[in-house]
Structure 1
């Protein structure tokens, strides 16, 4: 099993920490550029500016994902070259040129802003895939450990940045992708070899199964599109409750009340890191439960709280929100969103190990689903202004869509069968079971034939089944069983099963302590 803490307190500390901090810079930049509703400067002064900004940046990201997907599909073997370090340097140079050239050329703000936004969307998509293909081959456990640290680092970094004056913050944020890419480029750690079937699960994902998974990510992205739409049409009022924590937090940052409500969503990244560690401890790598029993209901809970704000129940073009319920729901939703991103990345790493799909393909399609859904959700939400639908009803509709997609997927046994189960906890248990049997056989000196019989006995097989499976007579099976029972000091099949379960329990405790 891959040690989740590997690299934290060993002689590989420096490169491992550099990689974690680099991914943290990417998460911070991704949140700032693609998720923070108050990201566009001047958003509150013009509704058209706000909507145009998000449409441009999302279209740019989606187009980049589509180009990567098409190129990877056409070139196959050229996908590695496409996502190589040299190509990343070229992408960064193009991003820097798009930011600096319009300024040097003296172009107006109306022209400079779209160019910068297009470059931001394209680079965010590129780095999304580049990071996925870099850390995915290390396996889902290593990816989850690295991403959890990165989320917490992104939270701390954002808090520090927003303490600074706005112009300095914007300048540093513009440099975050360079810091992230530098950490990515300087990492010389080679992907670890794929673990044996006993240690890591294997699966054979079918196309239909993958499409259903990416479809749920599309719905997740659509929910974020609605959140951005709400920010463009909701007037966030200052919290008047004397016990409201927002009253005490907002003065700590040199930003307006409206911008502060958007900024508070960064707390969701830290909360996501905590939830990930707790969920992995409880559910291990059971992706079915991690994604659709924890992640999607968590996002739905966020919209339930947002929709409960009384100010969102009006159907007018602009609604009012007290801020308290709105922000609480926003934080919970964002935590669920980034929680699902990390678990989805881990699932992509798991699927990539099967060899049926390349890492570039799985991470590209997951990013395309997330940001493509965000674009679709933003546009569809904007169309609802023509239908006079209240913002509260939109939240409850989104809640219903999230829970319905979660219910359909989590109860679809055919889907999980197509993925080879993709329930690593079960596969992992079978691997532990085999190791426990082998350990007991070695410790008590069972012969190879006795070991074969013992494996079938502890699976609960009858003597007739064992005789048929091993092509031996029943009398021979009885002889082997008497010898096995004598060597193990037991008297029944149930005692043999209990012995294996005890051995599994010991190994499981040792593995959990090593996480």
Structure 2
């Protein structure tokens, strides 16, 4: 059975790992005054590998279903990621420099192994209602912030052990997590793929890339022009504000009956733009400004996560595709922003470069806010209304069951459809691949992170599209025989 609440924890531990590795002063435990921050070098290599694996998972999403649903594989990924962290810190402790092949190997392992963990966690979040996803995401940010402060405040050895163990904790909770009957994946109807919202989804990916670039550009510039004490103070304040803000938002969203995610997009970007202006033009170097920017960036990152989880309900894109491509472009933006901020812009004088850079960053953010309209986001979201879902499910069953009774009454012996004649949605293609391998509804539900009722609905829909009514008839069609033929 597993622990139902565990399905929300993988993201919390993965998020905490991200905060500890990239926002805490944990790398300063190995002070290297004459070398670049090893955390930045780790970020470049790890993020590149993360992007590659995320894109591959999204592109081969049908085959990835079985891989991501394997508990052994996910635990192995947690072990590999933790080994990568140990390898990085071990190299720094032994050789005092990140210019070592083993350090790069360790960094690569963290990216290669955390990508499947993040995509699988997103696949699980896409199985619950939007309200539950929002609340779980906010509370995960609270948990991640508390873990951040524990890593910073405890003994260095324990902090390093925590950094190495967080990916494994995330993987273990994935292994024991279970999805109940509260998922809101709507039953599939015949899909007109010519109407798939590819363009709005592309706009969303471009915006996620640009916002990630601005956020990490801001962070890397602060590391270039400010002292470490100011950076650490700003990060600590930002995480503190994040914890408090997430508690407040959790209570606020609990009072809202229906959450319109598209309505939150522009206000969040405007808040981030205001923080960037304050951080660079009004009070450059202030921990308050840096903390505010980190707060809004973290909240926007959480918003992107929830939006992808909600988009994963759609019939045009599967959750693996959404989180694979979505996390890849967001990580790609962070990589580009970090490289530009560390290697290109610090050569400018702070007094001359700061105003131009701040205006450019705000301009990019405002462009993202204007280019994507609320109706564009609404076109790629799924209406998450329980009553509509029940009505649609009833109609779906009628569409499948009525032809069955009609054919038996009139003796209709029309041949069933062949695999080449059937058009399946991305989610149905994943279900179909598992059905073709002989998997039952329970296995399919566990693999796709949906309830058994939803898995059965997908199976019924596929039966209807193939013109069969039982599992044996489906097997006969897959083997090229007429249903019932020996």
**TMscore range, shorter length:** 0.5 to 0.7
Partner of 1:371: 331
Task: Pick one of 161, 165, 180 that aligns with 1:171.
Answer: 161
Query: What is the rounded CA distance, in whole Å, between the counterparts of 1:423 and 1:188 in structure 2?
Result: 23
Q: Is the 8 A contact 2:122 2:323 kept in 1?
A: yes
TM-score by length of 2: 0.67
1:80 aligns with 2:65: yes
The 1:280/1:286 distance shift into structure 2, 3 A limit, reads farther
1:490-501 alignment to 2 at 5 Å? none
Identify the residue that residue 93 of structure 1 maps to in structure 2.
Answer: 79
C-alpha displacement of 1:65: 2.8
2:278 equivalent among 274, 292, 305: 305
Deviation at 1:340, TM superposition (A): 2.3
State the distance in 2 between where 1:258 and 1:377 align. 17
Counterpart of 2:372 (choices 398, 402, 409) is 409
CA 1:58/1:281 → structure 2, altered by over 3 Å: closer, same or farther?
A: farther
Mapped partners of 1:406, 1:47: distance in 2? 41
User: Which whole-Å deviations, capped at 9, do the CAs of 1:308-362 have from their partners, x for residues lacking one?
Assistant: 355x4xxxxxxxx3xxxx3222332223223223332222222222221111110
Task: Confirm or deny that 1:25 pairs with 2:10.
Answer: no
Q: Distance in 2 between matches of 1:142 and 1:341?
A: 17
Alpha-carbon distance in structure 2 between the residues aligned to 1:417 and 1:309: 36
Contact 2:42 2:104 in 1 (8 A): yes
Does structure 1 conserve the Cα–Cα contact (< 8 Å) formed by 2:280 and 2:355?
A: yes
2:27 aligned with 1:40: yes
Once residues 127 and 236 of structure 2 are traced to their aligned partners in structure 1, the CA distance between those partners, rounded to angstroms, is 33
User: Does structure 2 conserve the Cα–Cα contact (< 8 Å) formed by 1:265 and 1:331?
Assistant: yes
Change in Cα spacing, 1:236 to 1:193, as seen in structure 2 (3 Å) is closer
Q: The residue matched to 2:226 in structure 1 has which SS?
A: strand
- 1:14-163 correspondence to structure 2 within 5 Å: 15-34=3-22, 36=23, 38-41=25-28, 45-46=32-33, 48-50=35-37, 53-73=39-59, 75-84=60-69, 85-99=71-85, 103=90, 108-110=95-97, 111=100, 112-163=102-153
In structure 2, the CA distance between the partners of 1:101 and 1:31, relative to structure 1 (3 Å rule), is closer
Mind listing any 5+ residue stretches in structure 2 that lack a counterpart?
188-192, 393-486
Q: Is the 8 A contact 2:125 2:133 kept in 1?
A: yes
Alpha-carbon distance in structure 2 between the residues aligned to 1:350 and 1:370 = 17
> Is this contact kept in 2: 1:58–1:375, CA < 8 A?
yes
In structure 2, the CA distance between the partners of 1:116 and 1:416, relative to structure 1 (3 Å rule), is closer
- Relative distance call for 1:385 and 1:257 in structure 2 (3 A) is closer
Residue 279 of structure 1 contacts residue 290 of structure 1 at CA under 8 Å; is this kept in 2? no
Q: How much does 1:376 deviate? A: 0.9
Shift of 1:224: 2.0
How far apart are residue 217 of structure 1 and its match? 0.8
Cα offset, 1:230, TM superposition: 2.0
User: Is the CA contact (8 Å cut-off) linking 1:138 and 1:191 kept in structure 2?
Assistant: no
Measured on the aligned residues, the alpha-carbon RMSD in Å equals 3.6
Whether the aligned pair in 1 keeps the contact of 2:127 and 2:313 (CA below 8 Å) is: yes
* Range 271-280 or range 124-133, more displaced: 271-280
1:55-454 correspondence runs (5 A): 55-73=41-59, 75-84=60-69, 85-99=71-85, 103=90, 108-110=95-97, 111=100, 112-190=102-180, 192-194=182-184, 205-236=196-227, 258-274=231-247, 276-277=249-250, 278=252, 281=255, 284-293=258-267, 295-310=268-283, 312=284, 321=285, 326-381=286-341, 382-388=343-349, 389-410=352-373, 413=375, 415-416=376-377, 418-419=379-380, 422=381, 424=383
Q: Distance between the aligned counterparts of 1:217 and 1:275, measured in 2?
A: 25
SS in 1 for 2:317: coil
Higher gyration radius (CA):
1
Is the 1:15–1:187 Cα contact (8 Å) retained in structure 2?
yes
TM-score, scaled relative to structure 1: 0.64
Change (3 A) 1:205 1:329: farther
The separation in 1 between residues aligned to 2:113 and 2:346, in whole angstroms, is 32
